[in-house]
Amino acid sequence: MNKYKICKQCIMDITDPTITFNEKGVCSNCVEYEKKVKENVLFGEEGIKKLNEIAEKIKKQGLGKEYDCVLGLSGGVDSSYVAYITKKLGLRPLAVHLDNGWNSDIASSNINQIVKRLEIDLKTLVINWEEFKDLQLAYLKASVVDIEAITDHAISATLYKLANEHNIKYIISGGNVATEGIIPSIWTYNKTDLINLKDIHRKFGKHKLKTFPMLGVWKLIYYQYLKGIKTITPLNYVPYVKKDAKELLKKELGWKDYGGKHYESVFTKFYQAYILPKKFNIDKRKAHLSTLIASNQISRQEAIKEIQKPLYPDPEEFKRDKEYVLKKFGISDDEFKKIMSLPVKSHFNYKTDKWIRELLKKIVKPFRK
């Protein structure tokens, strides 16, 4: 049984049911963060050197092609900053934006400003709204925690598909340890588990998914191992301080801040600020702020002060967001209340591809010795 209720180093607490603490009161999330840093992050000159080496490989591979890499662009700070760095490295990216129907006006403005000022070509994929709505409602009715997995799934599927179509071997990602390194696994789910997605939709959806971008484990293996498509995370090789990145983007690209992490999406904002805490007892700010503490971007006291603020400081803003979300879903307040009152389920209450991944690990393990 845990002796502590909250980490002495960050602000993660027992709302993460998997959390453990060492004899000093430091949580397992902080320990795991340090492991991620050692495995994925390079600092100072070593990081810059490595990133330049990677950039040269990308340029060499892309000779004679219209683009040498593909990058996802959401209008958020991570993807916007990585687009800036990509151009500074002299790369020729094709920016890809997935429009799932929930973009905020600020996000759309940011995307337009970025591609215009950096002179990047943009390809926007607009998902069939009826299909996507049906899938989101299916996840809500399934009572699983990671409703956002379907957006991430579609983004990954689209990036790999376009990279393959253009014979591009590199996908540039805004993923990074500095601002995303702490997140309890129980708060999220595998974004490319197509079996889980299909099973949830089969049980709770109403319409066929005819055009929704899909990426299962076998197609992922095809793209990564047979086609040799690699994902690069430049933000793990440069000093990435979120506050400084925002200021640079505002100054250089006319970028505008949209508030909380991933709040460039109206649904994501409502999901993180209301659905997660209300139904799942999850305040993702704890993970986001704890990561910034771990990467020395804010102090623990600053994080404690921030977490005490209400998720929706303005009741009218919450009312507007809720009305907008329910209207867009085409459901009543009573229907939404019923969904919110359903018992919480694990993604593992539905079919998953876990057995396939475990089998593949056993097959590959002898070759790694």
pTM of the predicted model as reported, rounded to 2 decimal places? 0.93
What is the β-pairing status of strands 121-126 and 230-232?
unpaired
In CATH, the architecture of 44-348 is: 3-Layer(aba) Sandwich (3.40)
Q: Nearest Cα to 253, choosing from 116, 124, 98? A: 116
State the CB neighbour count (10 A cutoff) for residue 331: 16
State the CB neighbour count (10 A cutoff) for residue 305: 12
What are 123's strand-pairing partners?
96
Looking at residue 262, its pLDDT comes to 46
Instruction: Reduce the secondary structure of 294-305 to three states and give it as a string.
Output: HCCCCCHHHHHH
Q: Nearest Cα to 146, choosing from 361, 349, 364, 362? A: 349
For tokens 């396939």, the residue is: 356
- Both structure tokens of 112: 């337009």
- Both structure tokens of 198: 């299909």
Q: Nearest Cα to 213, choosing from 116, 97, 302, 338? A: 97
Q: Is 154 helix (H, G, I), strand (E, B) or coil?
A: helix
Segment 36-81, tens digit of pLDDT = 999 999 999 999 999 999 999 999 999 999 999 999 999 989 999 9
Which residues are CB-contacts of 166 (< 8 A; sequence separation ≥ 6)?
65, 66, 67, 70, 94
Looking at residue 361, its pLDDT comes to 82
Which residues are CB-contacts of 3 (< 8 A; sequence separation ≥ 6)?
21, 25
Spatial separation of the C-alpha atoms in residues 157 and 242, rounded to whole Å: 27
What is the β-pairing status of strands 121-126 and 170-172?
unpaired
| Domain ranges across the chain | 44-348
Q: Which DSSP string corresponds to 290-336? A: HHHHHTTSS-HHHHHHHHTS-SSS-HHHHHHHHHHHHHHHT--HHHH
Which parts of the chain have pLDDT scores under 50? 262
Q: Is 351 exposed, middle or buried (0-12, 13-18, 19+ CB in 10 A)?
A: middle
Looking at residue 263, its pLDDT comes to 56
Looking at residue 266, its pLDDT comes to 87
Q: Is 72 helix (H, G, I), strand (E, B) or coil?
A: strand
Q: Which DSSP string corresponds to 75-119? A: SSHHHHHHHHHHHHTT--EEEEEEE-S-B-HHHHHHHHHHHHHHT
